[in-house]
Structure 1
Amino acid sequence: MEKMKLKMLYSDLKQDIDIIEKELEEALNSSSHLIYEASLHLLQAGGKRIRPVFVLISAKFGNYNIDKVKNVAVPLELIHSASLVHDDVIDNSDMRRGQHTVKAQWNNRVAMYTGDYIFARALEYVTKIENKKVHQILAHTMVEIVNGEIIQIEDKFRLNQNLKDYFRRIKRKTALLIESSCELGAIVGECDPKVVNNLKRYGYYVGMSYQIIDDILDFISTDKELGKPAGSDLLQGNITLPILLLQDHSEIKQFIERASQGTVTEQERLDMLEIVRKSDAIKKSMQISNQYLVKALKEVEALPNHPMKKKLRDVALFIGKRKF
């Protein structure tokens, strides 16, 4: 239902989104049947395609040409997809969006090579773009995403981290790719530099809010809604905002210790969820997410009058209220 609402927000872009969807499938073609099958498994598991949508919307503020825009939208979504495959190996996740992950369907080795292949295809696809700045931004984005993955490994089960550590991590994990989607869409659309900067900042703020909401939903949603056990982030050692706001809670500390040893029982997981849900950490996390949304909406206001301004507002507000 929630995904349907989101698709309705950009239903007028459906024709171009379908073009990108087809390009994504073609981009994953491989002489290796195994790699192709694993890549397609990930693609067909679905996704909100938020990043390509932001590319399309941003490009609309300039000289919109889908044949040029898709050359940015496709590699950005490929980079995102590749990072998901690697994340699932790092976090030892068997489920994503209610579907088996590549590592669960095959194994870790196949998953890692599949992720590498998708990254490589993204790089190959970018060669269709002649703009040097686009290449520089994409290269920087990929480097930072990988740095973020390494830092996430180093930070596992580490409770003595601060909010700055968390914000830096989610910037690399999520916000940077959404920021780049908006920025590159505007650049390929040949937008005015001021418009490019407004859209870039909008993408960053929306991306930060998006990840914070993701981290909240991991605690307040049901297993069925998430398509995986609620609280999976903490079980895997990822210390997110609600837990940082509860880092002095003795029972949470004990839970993290047991999770690091892999000895958490189902009842302990349910007890942990109850503690987080009844605390004020969820409300405080929502407030921080909303602060980022307010900043994003200010960037929208600074943009020139255009029908897409409402679209940017609507998507940002939806992200702030989403339940999936």
Structure 2
Amino acid sequence: MDLLESIQSDMQKLENELIEHLESRVPVAFEIGAHIMNSGGKRIRPQLAIIAARMGGYTGLNALKLSGAIECIHTATLLHDDVVDDADTRRGRPSANTLWSNEMCVLGGDFILAKAFSALTSIGNLRILEIVSAATERLSEGELFQMANIGNLDLTEADYLQVITDKTAVLMEAACRGGAILGNFEPNKEEALAQFGLNLGIAFQMTDDVIDYRSDVQTMGKPQCKDIQEGKLTLPLIAALRNATAPERNRVEKMIEEKTLSGDDQVWIRNWVERTGGIQQTLESGRAFLEKGTAHLEIFPDTEEKRALMKLAERILHRTY
């Protein structure tokens, strides 16, 4: 049994910690939070925090508090995302905003965020609080930047990288850095773990953006080509547009304007993005960022924890949902 398997006991403790985070005097606040918490997330960010802390020999309660708080922040953003995107499903289940009103889900997300920072405060480490606060600020900026560029066919690869760094990677970076602080690592090793988390997060999002074009609704639990229907330009499409003919670009523009795709549109856009190399470029970029991230782990000895991080990274890159 490897560390990723044995850490499942910590994951069960985390689930209990998350439920405790959601306790409220107002029943609906708990109900909304519990619905999305129980929607089948992979708990990648908590695993990063716990393993990073273990690398430094720390196995105390604060690792669970940190990982629980970070997962709460991630979960709150999912609630807000579903409202913004008018989503019907989340991981194959009805999204919270289909069961409760948009207004209640926004407030539910705010409640979960407040609970996250309450848990962070209880750790009693100002630096960890500052790091996660800064990551949450950047996460919000990333989401806003993406929203401000909905339907912008001139979005560059650099713009895209800014979006996914802020909206996804910085929270994984914070998970690793927070765990490293609990593990009492010296600055160079703390930075190495943080850079691993940052680059892993970029690779994670690039893989996610490929899945949107390649997977199916039964596997994904959401409609195919959801990003383009929402007007979000991700790297597969940005790369494909680089060499698009005028008719191809016009067809993509029309899809985004209409905010809906017919069956023929879905088949065409998936085949076109694949054929023009958009998928391949994104996969290669994701692999490059993953290799950059794992290179930062070379500073550490070959321990069970290091191997667990490497294995987690490979699982992320090769997932299909």
Residues 260-275 of structure 1 correspond to what in structure 2 (within 5 A)?
260-262=257-259, 264-275=261-272
Match of 1:320 in 2: 317
Task: Answer yes or no: is 1:284 the counterpart of 2:281.
Answer: yes
The residue correspondences of 1:220-299 to structure 2 (distance < 5 A) are: 220-248=214-242, 249=244, 250-262=247-259, 264-299=261-296
Residue type matched to 2:277 in 1? D
Post-superposition offset of 1:159? 0.9
**How much has 1:61 moved relative to structure 2?**
1.6
Q: Distance in 2 between matches of 1:8 and 1:110?
A: 42
Match of 1:16 in 2: 10
- When structure 1 is superposed on structure 2, of 187-196 and 134-143 the one drifting more is 187-196
* Counterpart selection for 1:38 from 3, 18, 32: 32
* Matched-pair identity in %: 29
Counterpart code for 1:243: L
1:8 to 1:112, Cα distance in 2 relative to 1, 3 A: farther
Distance 1:263-1:312 versus aligned 2 partners, 3 A rule = closer
- Residue 303 in structure 1 maps to residue 300 in structure 2: yes
Q: Output the CA distance in 1 between the equivalents of 2:287 and 2:2.
A: 23
For 1:1-324, what aligned pairs fall within 5 Å after superposition? 10-248=4-242, 249=244, 250-262=247-259, 264-324=261-321
Deviates more, 1:224-233 or 1:9-18: 9-18
RMSD (CA atoms): 1.6
Q: For 2:72 and 2:84, how far apart are their aligned partners in 1? A: 19
C-alpha displacement at 1:31, in angstroms?
Answer: 1.4
Q: Which amino acid aligns with 1:310?
A: R
CA contact (8 A) 2:216 2:224 kept: yes
Amino acid at match of 1:298: A
Contact 2:139–2:167 under 8 Å retained in 1: yes
Contact 1:234–1:256 (Cα < 8 Å) also in 2: no
Q: Is the CA contact (8 Å cut-off) linking 2:141 and 2:167 kept in structure 1?
A: no
Q: What does the per-residue CA deviation read over 1:217-256, in whole Å, with 9 as the maximum and x for residues that have no partner?
A: 0001111111111100110111000000012423254233
1:26-70, Cα deviation, whole Å (9 max, x unpaired)? 111111111211111001111000001000110012131331211
* Unmatched segments (≥5 aa) in structure 1: 1-6
Match of 1:4 in 2: none
TM-score, normalization by structure 1? 0.94
Counterpart contact for 1:255–1:268, Cα < 8 Å? no
Q: 1:267 to 1:9 in 2, by over 3 A?
A: farther
1 CA distance for matches of 2:290 and 2:240? Answer: 23
Shift of 1:266: 3.2
Structure 2 gap segments, 5+ residues each: none
Partner-residue secondary structure (3-state), 2:37: helix
Shift of 1:305: 3.6
Distance 1:271 1:183 in 2: 43
Amino acid at match of 1:182: C
Q: In structure 2, give the amino acid aligned to 1:165.
A: D
Question: How far apart are residue 142 of structure 1 and its match?
Answer: 1.0
Equivalences, count? 318
